[in-house]
Amino acid sequence: MATIFEQESRTFNEYLLIPNLTDYQTRPENVVLSTAVVKYRKGKEASRLNISLPVTSAIMQAVSNDTLSIALARSGGLSFVFSSQPVDKQADMVRKVKKYKAGLVTSDTNVTPDHTLADILTLKEITGHSTVAVTEDGSAHGKLLGIVTSRDYRISRMTTDTPVSEFMTPLDHLIVGREGINLSEANDIIWDHKVNQLPIVDQQGHLVGMVFRKDYDEHKENPLELLDEQKRLITGAGINTHDYQVRVPALIEAGADVLCIDSSDGFSIWQSDTISWIREQYGDTVLVGAGNVVDAEGFRYLVDAGADFVKVGIGGGSICITREQKGIGCGQASAVLAVAEARDAYYRETGIYVPICSDGGIVHDYHMTMALAMGADFIMLGRYFARFDESPTRRLLVNGTYVKEYWGEGSNRARNWQRYADGDNQGQRMAFEEGVDSYVPYAGKLKDNLDLSMAKMRATMCACGSLSIDQLQEKARLVVISSTSIVEGGAHDVIQKESERRT
C-alpha cells in the first residue's frame, strides 16, 4: 500500500511565533538580514553569493524582468529573470541589469566628431543615456576627443545636422582619470571638481570607461544594494531542462550571476541531467539552484546532483493550481520544516551547508519571517512583487480599483510548456493548466513596500530575541493554532470605521 506520512500538511497560517526575551541589544536597527544563497562550508569559507535581504523574485513572466531585477537588487534582494521567453530576449534583460550601473562603465554610447546632433538624439533614445563619448573612431575604446552631455546642445536653437565637433566639450576642457585609478579615488575627483562623470583613459589617451556621479549617489541612497566585484548589480536568471545547452551559455555571457532551474516538480532526472551538463562544461564556476521539492528525498537528490541551493514548495503559490489538477504537493510550512531538517542532516554529515529557498505560500508579511524561522534561508515571492510599478505587467482600473495583471507560469497565457513537460522534446503544448490568470491589487513602488515588509520582519525577529536569521532559526518557538485562534488574531467583535477600512 502507499506510504502515508503521519504529519499533517500545514501552512504558515496555522502557526504563530512565541516571543523570547528581548534585551537591550535586540532592536530593529541591530538586525542583520543578510543570508547565503549558495552552498558553502560553515566555519571554513564564506558563501560565494550573499544577499542583503532574504527575498528573491519568482521566475515568472508577470514578475521578474529587467526593471524589477534592477529595483530589487538596488534594495538588497535578488531577481531571477524569467526563462519562458526566447534565449536572446532573456539574455538582453540580463545585460540591461548588468549595464544599469557599475564602478567603471564601458561606454555604450559613442560617436565621432563627424556625427551630427541627429545621431546624438537617436543614440539617446536607443540607450537612454545622455552622456556620449566622442572618440576618434566612434568606438568604446577609441582615442578620446571629448564628450557630449545634454548641457552641450539646445534642440530649439540648433539644427539636427550640426556636427558633433561644433558643440562637444573637447578633451582639453575635461577632467579625466588615468587607467589604474581605483573607484574611491575616481569618486574623490568627481566631487572635488564638481563634475557628473569622469572619463578614464590609458597612457595613449584611449577611452577605458566612465565613472558616474549618479552611481555613487544612488549607492549612498541604497546601502544594501547587491553589487558584484565590478560594482554592477547582481541578477539571477531562470533556466529549464530542455534548451539549457543553448540558454546557459547565453546567460553566462550576458553576465548572470546565478541560475535556477524553473520547474513545478524538481525531483526529476531531467534536473540532474541539466546540472551534470553545467558541471561538465563549467565546473563549479557557474552557480545553479534547483527545485522545487517538498521532502528530504527530493532535497538529497538535487544536492547529490550538484545543486548550489534547493527551492522548496509545490502548489502553494497564489496562482498555482497544481494541487487541484494533479493532487501533488504539500503545505508550505510542512515542506519547509521537512527540507530544513534534511538540510541540517546533510550539513552534519558532510560539513556543507546548502541553503534552501521557500517558494510560495506567503499571504501576509509575517509569513516571510515564519518561513525563515522554520529553516528557510531566503524566500521567493511572486504575487508580492507583481503588485509593484517595476513589474512588467499592465496597471488597470477594474471596478474602481487599480490592479496589476498576474498569471502563473502554468497558465495558458504563459505558454510555458517547457516548465511542465518531461524529457527533451515531449509535450510541446500544455494539455491542461496548472496556473490561473488573475489580478493583484496595485501597491506602488517596490522600495517603499519592501522597506515596510522588512521593518515588520526586523520587529518580529526582535520579539523572538534574534538579530540574525541564524539566531532566529535557533531560538524560534512555534505553536500550532486552531481555526478559532485565527479569527481571534484579527480585528473582531467591533465595528470598524470607514477611514480605517480604507487604510
Rounded-to-integer distance, Cα 16 and Cα 268, Å: 34
Q: Nearest to residue 471, comparing CAs of 96, 135, 35, 106?
A: 35
Q: Nearest to residue 392, comparing CAs of 401, 382, 400, 378?
A: 382
Lowest model confidence (mean pLDDT) among 21-35, 126-140, 357-371, 407-421: 407-421
In angstroms, the Cα distances linking 153 to 5, 116, 169, 174, 429 are 72, 11, 10, 17, 54
Q: pLDDT tens digits, residue range 216-247?
A: 777 777 899 999 998 899 999 999 999 999 99
* Catalytic entry in 74, 419, 458, 462: 419
Q: pLDDT tens digits, residue range 344-396?
A: 999 999 999 999 999 999 999 999 999 999 999 999 999 999 999 999 999 99
In angstroms, the Cα distances linking 429 to 322, 417, 418, 425 are 17, 6, 9, 10
Residue keyed to cell 474602481: 400
* pLDDT at residue 444 is higher than 60: yes
In angstroms, the Cα distances linking 436 to 23, 405, 413, 414, 422 are 46, 11, 9, 10, 21
Rounded-to-integer distance, Cα 182 and Cα 396, Å: 47
Q: Is 312 exposed, middle or buried (0-12, 13-18, 19+ CB in 10 A)?
A: buried
> What share of the chain in percent tops pLDDT 90?
70
Which amino acid, residue 282? Y
Yes or no: say if 77 and 69 are a contact pair by the CB < 8 Å rule.
Answer: no
**Residue 370 in 3-state DSSP?**
helix
The pLDDT score that the predictor gives to residue 424 is 47
The pLDDT score that the predictor gives to residue 8 is 86
For Cα atoms 307, 358, 354, give the angle at the middle one, nearest 5 degrees: 35
* pLDDT at residue 427 is higher than 50: no
Rounded-to-integer distance, Cα 164 and Cα 65, Å: 35
Strand 352-353 and strand 356-359: the pairing is unpaired
Rounded-to-integer distance, Cα 346 and Cα 116, Å: 64
The pLDDT score that the predictor gives to residue 437 is 77
Q: What cell was used for 3?
A: 506510504
Strand 395-398 and strand 401-407: the pairing is antiparallel
The pLDDT score that the predictor gives to residue 426 is 46
> Which has more confidence, 329 or 57?
57
* pLDDT at residue 170 is higher than 90: yes
* Catalytic entry in 260, 320, 357, 462: 320
The pLDDT score that the predictor gives to residue 429 is 59
Q: Nearest to residue 5, comparing CAs of 318, 337, 479?
A: 337
* Mean pLDDT in residue range 144-158: 91
The maximal CA–CA distance of the chain, rounded, in angstroms, is: 85
For Cα atoms 54, 56, 59, give the angle at the middle one, nearest 5 degrees: 160
In angstroms, the Cα distances linking 205 to 49, 134, 141, 167 are 37, 12, 9, 21
Q: pLDDT tens digits, residue range 57-69?
A: 999 999 999 999 9
Count of beta carbons in the 10 Å neighbourhood of residue 23: 9
Q: Is 502 a catalytic residue?
A: no
Q: Which residues pair with 478 in a beta bridge?
A: 17
Q: Is 320 a catalytic residue?
A: yes
Yes or no: say if 236 and 244 are a contact pair by the CB < 8 Å rule.
Answer: no
Alpha helices in 244-387 (DSSP H): 244-254, 269-282, 296-305, 322-326, 332-350, 365-373, 383-386
Q: Which residues pair with 35 in a beta bridge?
A: 51
> What is the helix (H) or strand (E) element at residue 378, kind and residue range?
strand 378-381
Residue keyed to cell 508580492: 384
Q: Which residues pair with 405 in a beta bridge?
A: 439
Residue keyed to cell 563549467: 282
The pLDDT score that the predictor gives to residue 329 is 85
* Mean pLDDT in residue range 162-191: 90
Q: Is the bond preceding residue 20 a cis peptide, omega within 30 degrees?
A: no
* pLDDT at residue 49 is higher than 50: yes
> Which has more confidence, 277 or 194?
277
> What is the helix (H) or strand (E) element at residue 260, kind and residue range?
strand 258-261
* pLDDT at residue 441 is higher than 90: yes
Rounded-to-integer distance, Cα 251 and Cα 236, Å: 9
Yes or no: say if 93 and 66 are a contact pair by the CB < 8 Å rule.
Answer: yes
Backbone phi and psi for residue 245, each to the nearest 5 degrees, phi listed first = -70, -20
State the angle between helix axes of 269-282 and 244-254 in degrees (0 to 180), rounded to the nearest 10.
50
The pLDDT score that the predictor gives to residue 503 is 45
> Which has more confidence, 447 or 431?
447
